[in-house]
């Protein structure tokens, strides 16, 4: 489904940047983002490289999923080394084969599964990255019973899905428009998120 970031060239070392594989291994040895941050708090250079690696990796996975399903998303957080890196899925996608809806929570699960396969940890653990499903549902597209069962399974897998108020603005094709509905399904990939 998603691919690893492009292979790095010999210039990476010449630029003083740790190769992505080394960044990933460092995070795994530390047990994830929290462990790395604790161990490397004084090493701002390495934490800066891990922060950039996190953004490159998560953005590559979500961009591949967006190409596959055609949904909009936003990356939230700051470049501050202590900040988390959150992704919000702002629209549902479309399955190009069947033409059916790919719900935002299904996109969250696909991202989680991709990171889990690659690193053996969920994005909330390895990268301190929470992924939220917050695409508006209008009354005409109420969730079918089968989809509600699927959402229940996602919750059982440790993801937090709950109704919440949507922002009054959402992004459609890169253009901000007023939202047609104020209720959304919110899903966070990190079960510890609020």
Q: So what's the pLDDT on residue 142?
A: 55
- Is 83 part of a structural domain of the chain? yes
Q: So what's the pLDDT on residue 159?
A: 52
Q: How many domains does the chain have?
A: 1
Name the residue with higher pLDDT: 60 or 154.
Answer: 60
- Is 10 part of a structural domain of the chain? no
Residue 18 clears pLDDT 70, i.e. is over it: yes
- Is 5 part of a structural domain of the chain? no
- Is 7 part of a structural domain of the chain? no
Name the residue with higher pLDDT: 153 or 188.
Answer: 153
- Is 69 part of a structural domain of the chain? yes
Q: Which domain holds residue 61?
A: 17-188
- Is 65 part of a structural domain of the chain? yes
- Is 44 part of a structural domain of the chain? yes
Which residues sit opposite 176 in a β-bridge? 171
DSSP code string of 171-185: EETTEEEE-S-SEEE
Degrees, nearest 5: CA angle 149-155-157:
110
pLDDT digits (tens, 9 = 90+) for 38-52: 999 899 999 999 999
DSSP-assigned letter for residue 141: G
- Is 8 part of a structural domain of the chain? no
pTM equals: 0.68
Positions of E strands within 4-159: 73-76, 86-89, 93-94, 101-102, 131-133
Q: So what's the pLDDT on residue 7?
A: 44
């Amino acid at each position: 489904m998603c691919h690893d970031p492009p292979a790095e060239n010999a210039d990476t070392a010449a630029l003083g940047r740790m190769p992505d594989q080394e960044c990933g291994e460092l995070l795994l040895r530390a047990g994830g983002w929290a462990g790395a941050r604790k161990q490397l708090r004084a090493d701002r250079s390495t934490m800066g490289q891990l922060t950039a690696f996190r953004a490159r990796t998560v953005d590559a996975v979500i961009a591949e999923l967006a190409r596959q399903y055609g949904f909009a998303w936003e990356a939230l957080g700051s470049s501050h080394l202590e900040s988390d890196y959150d992704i919000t899925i702002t629209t549902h996608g479309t399955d190009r084969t069947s033409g059916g809806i790919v719900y935002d929570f299904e996109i969250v699960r696909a991202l989680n599964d991709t990171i889990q396969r690659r690193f053996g940890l969920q994005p909330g653990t390895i990268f301190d990255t929470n992924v939220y499903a917050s695409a508006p549902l209008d009354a005409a597209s109420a969730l079918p019973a089968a989809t509600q069962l699927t959402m229940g399974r996602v919750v059982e897998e440790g993801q937090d899905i709950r109704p919440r108020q949507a922002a009054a603005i959402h992004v459609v094709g890169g253009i901000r428009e007023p939202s047609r509905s104020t209720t959304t399904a919110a899903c966070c990939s990190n079960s510890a998120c609020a």
